[in-house]
Structure 1
């Protein structure tokens, strides 16, 4: 989870443990070069105003909708940061630890500009009002009780809204696991399948391909890679890894 202090500690501790075993060959990050550079600069660079950042993004994008998508995502992370959630903290911890231990860093994500373009296209495809209304009407006829995940999420965000950010962080940290994330992204699969594909599944494939390539290039004595990725990507990467490695074995 990109906004949890616990994620940063977990990434740092895992890298150190594997390095002490002597078999750590690289640290793999869910970053492209642009995001990597931004995180590297974040510690010293002042936070620019949202307006100036918006103009900067939109001026660089040939497709205005792609720029608006990126602007919206950036706004979410800035808001979380103001609430006390340091977005990307686990990446910062992983970078600092890997560099201190002189462990190679692999940037395995798709270029941000491509992801934003794909998201812009997905928004056009998924914003079909008739289709969404049909789904909503069908779901409204089913009276389902509040799930444990929904209740716990509500408690966490209620704590944040009440000003107790630390308690909210702790509640979210305990709540977030692979099963919970799977439940949380299920509505996206239903309501916005193209957006889910652009922001999750296509990147899962790319990151898996880069991870497999990195693993094949490492020497046997340094064959361990610590991957630092968002929890929403773990399931897809595991499935894609099994598929790609099985296919590679079959064709040999």
Structure 2
């Protein structure tokens, strides 16, 4: 999982560094040596970096023993105001690293336009369900689709795609010289599998029922009112309030993981020889973290703790009851499919059985039984 995360980060190349006059900058750099161009870009960055930055109220400042600074931008995932907060913070502090609350499984939203994202969020179909089940297993896949339904519900109400603050962070990071872009969230399949494993069968059914019948209208004003606590996470917290273990896996564990990744990013920078005579000269780094507002208290709480994420990356084996429930669901689905085929006729049965997906499913189902 960690190797996949690094590969995903490596494929993320923010847009090229720009200035007020990109053409003029290009002409200047062509007449400079690599060493002089490096010095020029570094000096520009240091000049733009504010000693006492004027930051939005949603920003929390943290520090390390090495003097590194981390500016946490608490956001609402469907908020236009949050996008502006992210842009302003990055422009003010000119960070060395930007860390966002995304993993490699959700990184595609950084490169998709708003129109495509709106379409994707609104379309929850059989193909997406099959992909989720294949990736995460039956129960975790179904739960993922139910949570996507929550996100799609907000998207439908607001006409606004999620993750705008992350796309802004990605674009702004590309305008800052020598700024790296990191994915800071735990891989979503692990989060879902750990969440499902933490629930009893009855709790799984009860939670799924609540998610399926989500219908309360949400306005743009509601999003901004929830600026002190991310809207999507607030809705989820209200629904999972009676399931402490679920809250622990979806929120509290990710607080620890995000804090760990932010601390990993906040390391002193070793300057190259081009910037000074000392080969091992180090300076404190500046990091901007873009996370949901609901994670800020947990990150602050864990900031000075000795963090170990190995246990948080493990997935407990399914219990006997969970296996029995999974088997029951499969048998029920097969029974409904068989009854449906019986009702529509022999020709339809032959047509359905010829489909590769049905054949693969029957083969897998038979192997699991026998």
Equivalent in the alignment of 1:117: 193
Are 1:244 and 2:319 counterparts?
no
Equivalent in the alignment of 2:70: none
Which runs of 5 or more residues in structure 1 are unaligned? 130-156, 161-167, 246-252
Equivalent in the alignment of 1:173: 224
Structure with higher RCO (Cα < 8 A, 6+ apart): 1
Aligned partner (choices 183, 190, 193) of residue 107 of structure 1:
183
Give 1:205 deviation, angstroms: 0.9
Are 1:205 and 2:267 counterparts?
no
Equivalent in the alignment of 1:225: 287
CA distance in 1, matches of 2:302, 2:204: 30
Equivalent in the alignment of 2:93: 18
Distance verdict in 2 for CA 1:82–1:222, change over 3 Å = farther
Paired residues of 1:126 and 1:194 also in contact (CA < 8 A): no
CA distance in 2, matches of 1:225, 1:54: 37
Paired residues of 2:223 and 2:231 also in contact (CA < 8 A): no
Paired residues of 2:109 and 2:167 also in contact (CA < 8 A): no
Paired residues of 2:86 and 2:290 also in contact (CA < 8 A): yes
Equivalent in the alignment of 1:4: 79
CA distance in 2, matches of 1:175, 1:87: 15
Q: TM-score, with normalisation over the residues of structure 1?
A: 0.70
Equivalent in the alignment of 1:66: 140
Distance verdict in 2 for CA 1:217–1:72, change over 3 Å = farther
Paired residues of 1:189 and 1:196 also in contact (CA < 8 A): yes
Higher deviation after alignment, 228-237 or 74-83:
74-83
Equivalent in the alignment of 1:235: 297
Higher deviation after alignment, 82-91 or 8-17:
82-91
Equivalent in the alignment of 1:136: none
Distance verdict in 2 for CA 1:175–1:76, change over 3 Å = closer
Paired residues of 1:125 and 1:194 also in contact (CA < 8 A): no
Paired residues of 1:181 and 1:232 also in contact (CA < 8 A): no
Judging by fraction of residues, say which structure has more helix.
1
Give 1:221 deviation, angstroms: 3.9
Aligned partner (choices 151, 158, 162) of residue 77 of structure 1:
151
Paired residues of 2:268 and 2:284 also in contact (CA < 8 A): no
Equivalent in the alignment of 2:343: none
CA distance in 2, matches of 1:208, 1:12: 22
Distance verdict in 2 for CA 1:44–1:202, change over 3 Å = same
Aligned partner (choices 32, 40, 44) of residue 111 of structure 2:
40
Aligned partner (choices 77, 82, 88) of residue 163 of structure 2:
88
Equivalent in the alignment of 2:66: none
Equivalent in the alignment of 2:317: none
**C-alpha RMSD over aligned residues:** 3.2
Which runs of 5 or more residues in structure 2 are unaligned? 1-75, 206-215, 271-281, 308-370
Equivalent in the alignment of 1:248: none
Distance verdict in 2 for CA 1:126–1:42, change over 3 Å = farther
- For 1:125-136, list aligned pairs within 5 A: 127=203
Higher deviation after alignment, 213-222 or 74-83:
213-222
The Cα offsets for residues 203-252 of structure 1, whole Å up to 9 and x where unpaired, read as: 1111111111111254554521111000111000001002239xxxxxxx
Distance verdict in 2 for CA 1:68–1:39, change over 3 Å = farther
Q: TM-score, with normalisation over the residues of structure 2?
A: 0.49
